[in-house]
């Protein structure tokens, strides 16, 4: 299967030993988009409304992280933050990208945060959207997302959790996402990532307060006010701890900021990334 029959399948490259499916479009300073962890998710499903707009000013790279989408699932693969960070850095290396802007959604926000902490020289500017990465009591919404077992009815209920506007949670979208969740290998790897009790996976994705406070990057923190999956308090904490952070909260918006407010989100992120100068990031001073 390729992009002629499935828009979720694009380019293929080996990143940290993992054959990785990724999208690569536009020209300019690179920006790496890291998707969330919903059932049946892929980079294209997460970012399809955003990539064309950002690609007008930047080189947009959006991979399927291992365990998700159309990236290979090696037998016995261990799913952990270290694995995903290594894959992301391996992708940058394979593409010859020394420094990138970094946009992470939800699970991808926790991954973006961890990458920026471990490899600060590889990141120019950072965008965290509905992000994990700090400790919080798991929400019923996130527990339902990570505990998904395939059925069309269950997927329909998840869409109601993800989106503030019920008109977005259509039967057609529920069918598409359900079909994606039952493709060969998708549910097997998804179930292996987040078995109950799931609070431990929230905690495993958290970075330390000291590490977050030491981030030198200009950072944009974005959240939907009515998010039922990741609490708004997460973004308030991140915006407080990261010295060069700014916070934008969308009202009447759930967990799908990049879908529910696609044009606004693309403009906000595009403007933020366009501000960057070649001297960033600078050392912090006490």
Catalytic positions are 106, 227, 255
**b/e sequence 60-83, b meaning 16+ C-beta within 10 Å:** bbbbbbbbbbbbebeeeeebebeb
Which pair of structure tokens corresponds to residue 41?
């998710």
Q: Is the peptide bond before 197 cis (omega within 30 degrees of 0)?
A: yes
SS3 (DSSP) at 119: coil
Distance CA 121, CA 100 (A): 9
- Say if strands 30-34 and 11-15 run parallel, antiparallel, or are unpaired: unpaired
Distance CA 231, CA 101 (A): 25
Quickly list H helices, the chain.
43-47, 51-54, 81-94, 107-118, 140-146, 152-162, 171-181, 186-193, 199-204, 209-213, 232-241, 257-260, 262-274
Q: Is the peptide bond before 46 cis (omega within 30 degrees of 0)?
A: no
């Amino acid at each position: 299967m390729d992009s002629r029959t499935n828009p979720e399948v694009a380019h293929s490259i080996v990143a940290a030993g993992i054959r990785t499916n990724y999208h690569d479009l536009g020209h300019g300073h690179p920006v790496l988009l890291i998707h969330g962890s919903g059932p049946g998710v892929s980079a294209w499903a997460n970012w399809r409304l955003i990539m064309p707009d950002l690609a007008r000013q930047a080189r947009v790279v959006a991979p399927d992280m291992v365990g998700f989408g159309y990236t290979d699932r090696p037998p016995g693969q261990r799913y952990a933050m270290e694995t995903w960070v290594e894959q992301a850095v391996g992708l940058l290396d394979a593409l010859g990208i020394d420094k990138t802007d970094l946009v992470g959604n939800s699970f991808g926000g926790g991954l973006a945060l961890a990458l920026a902490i471990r490899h600060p020289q590889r990141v120019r500017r950072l965008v965290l959207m509905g992000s994990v990465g700090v400790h919080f009591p798991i929400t019923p919404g996130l527990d339902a997302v990570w505990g998904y077992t395939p059925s069309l009815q269950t997927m329909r209920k998840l869409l109601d959790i993800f989106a503030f506007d019920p008109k977005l949670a259509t039967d057609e979208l529920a069918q598409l996402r359900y079909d994606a969740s039952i493709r060969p290998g998708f549910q097997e790897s998804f179930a292996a990532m987040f078995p109950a009790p799931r609070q431990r996976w929230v905690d495993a994705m958290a970075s330390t307060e000291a590490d977050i406070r030491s981030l030198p990057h200009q950072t944009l923190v974005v959240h939907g006010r009515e998010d039922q999956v990741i609490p708004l308090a997460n973004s308030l904490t991140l915006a407080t701890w990261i010295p060069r952070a700014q916070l934008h909260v969308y009202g009447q918006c759930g967990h799908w900021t990049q879908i529910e407010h696609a044009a606004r989100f693309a403009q906000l992120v595009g403007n933020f990334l366009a501000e960057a100068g070649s001297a960033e990031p600078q050392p912090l001073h006490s």
